[in-house]
Amino acid sequence: MLNFAIETGFILIGLAMLLNLWRLFKGPDVTDRILALDTLNINAIALLVLYGIREDSSAYFEAALLIAAMGFVATVALCKYLLRGDIIE
């Protein structure tokens, strides 16, 4: 039962990430692309946590935390660049 749930979870999150990629390529504006990247990041975190359960290892948790931190900083930096034309003033 747990195996079934994990496999289905992989498929659902995989589909979600494909939809994010589609939005990333389609745009139409830069802000849409940044939003798509941000969502891709969040889905990647969910995928990593799920993979950690499948492999029965808590090592993937650190990777998930790192992706969360890096994704946030990337989104903020990109938005800042759009707002000010500069990241570190």
Partner 1 sequence: MNPTLESLVACMILLGALFALLGSIGLARLPDFFTRLHGPTKATTLGVGAMVLASAVYFTATRDGISLHEIAVMVFLFITAPVSAHLLAKAALHRGKEDADQ
Q: How far apart are CA 68 and CA 48, in angstroms?
A: 11
Binding to partner 1 (CB under 8 A): which residues in 31-70?
A: 31-32, 34-36, 38-39, 42-43, 45-46, 49-50, 52-53, 56, 58, 61, 64-65, 68-69
Q: Which residues contact 60 (CB under 8 A, 6 or more apart)?
A: 48, 49, 51, 52
Q: How many residues bind partner 1 (CB under 8 A)?
A: 48
CA 84 to chain centre: 25
Residue 60: in which H helix or E strand, if any?
helix 60-84
Q: Could you count the other beta carbons within 10 Å of the beta carbon of residue 80?
A: 14
Of residues 55, 59, 70, 72, which one binds partner 1 by CB under 8 A?
72
List interacting residues with partner 1 (CB under 8 A): 1-2, 4-6, 8-10, 12-13, 15-17, 19-20, 22-23, 29-32, 34-36, 38-39, 42-43, 45-46, 49-50, 52-53, 56, 58, 61, 64-65, 68-69, 72, 75-76, 79-80, 82-83
